[in-house]
Amino acid sequence: MRLTDHDLKQLSQEYLASLSAEQLLRLSGKMLEDLRDARDRLNQTPQNSSRPSGSYAPWQQAAFSDKEKPSEATEEVAKPGPKPEKKANATEPLDKSATSSERSKRKAGKQPGVKGVGRQVEMAVTGEVVHQPTECAACGEPLGDSTPFQVTTGLYVLDIERSQQGLQVTHVKHLYGQRPCPCGHVSQTKPGSCPDEPGWTVALTEWHLVGPMLAALIICLSLRMRLSRPRIREFLQDWLGVVLSVGCIHQCLTEGGRAVAPVEDELVADVQQSELLHADETGWKESGRTVWLWVLRSATTTLYIIGRRSWDVIANVMEHFGGWLMSDGYGQYRHYGKRLRCLAHIIRKARGLAESCHPAAAEFGQNVLQTVAQVIEGIYLARGDPTMDLPEKFAPELAQLQTTCEQHRDHPHQKTRQLARELLNDWTALWQVLAYPNLPITNNVAEQALRHWVIARKINHGTRTAEGSRAYTLLASVIDTCRQRGILPWPYIAQVIAERRQGKAPPPIPQAVA
Using CB under 5 A, list all residues that contact Zn ion.
136, 139, 141, 181, 183, 185
For the bound state, the minimum distance from the C-beta of residue 180 to Zn ion, rounded and expressed in Å, comes to 9
Distance, in Å, from the CA atom of 399 to the CA atom of 405, rounded to the nearest integer, reads 10
Least distance CB 188 / Zn ion (angstroms): 13
- Which residue's CB is nearer to Zn ion, number 188 or number 302? 188
* Count of Cβ atoms closer than 10 Å to residue 110 Cβ: 13
> Toward Zn ion, which CB reaches closer, 181 or 375?
181
H-helix or E-strand containing 29? helix 21-42
**Residues 347, 374: contact at Cβ < 8 Å?**
no
Shortest gap between Cβ of 142 and Zn ion (angstroms)?
Answer: 10
Contact 375, 312 (CB under 8 A): no
Our CB check for Zn ion shows the closer of 140 and 154 to be 140
Q: Whole-number minimum distance, CB 504 to Zn ion, in Å?
A: 25
Give whichever of 185 and 413 is closer to Zn ion, judged by the CB atom. 185
- φ, ψ for residue 73 (rounded to 5)? -60, -30
For 369, counting Cβ atoms within 10 Å of its Cβ (0-12 exposed, 13-18 middle, 19+ buried), the class is middle
CB 329 within 8 A of CB 348: no
450 — alpha (psi -120 to 50), left (phi > 0) or beta?
Answer: alpha
**Which residue, 143 or 343, is less far from Zn ion as judged by CB?**
143
| Closer residue to Zn ion (CB): 185 or 501 | 185
At closest approach, how far in Å is the CB of 140 from Zn ion?
Answer: 7
Cα–Cα distance measured from residue 232 to residue 214, given in angstroms and rounded to the nearest whole number: 12
3-state secondary structure (DSSP) of residue 431: helix
Q: How far is the CB of 37 from Zn ion (least distance, A)?
A: 22
Residue pair 289/452 in contact by the 8 Å Cβ criterion: no
Amino acid, res. 289: R
To the nearest whole angstrom, how small is the minimum distance from the Cβ of residue 144 to Zn ion?
12
Q: Report the candidate in 250, 183, 187 with the shortest Cα–Cα distance to residue 215.
A: 250
Is the Cβ of residue 136 or residue 157 nearer to Zn ion in the bound state?
Answer: 136
Give bridge partners of residue 293 from the DSSP assignment: 282, 306
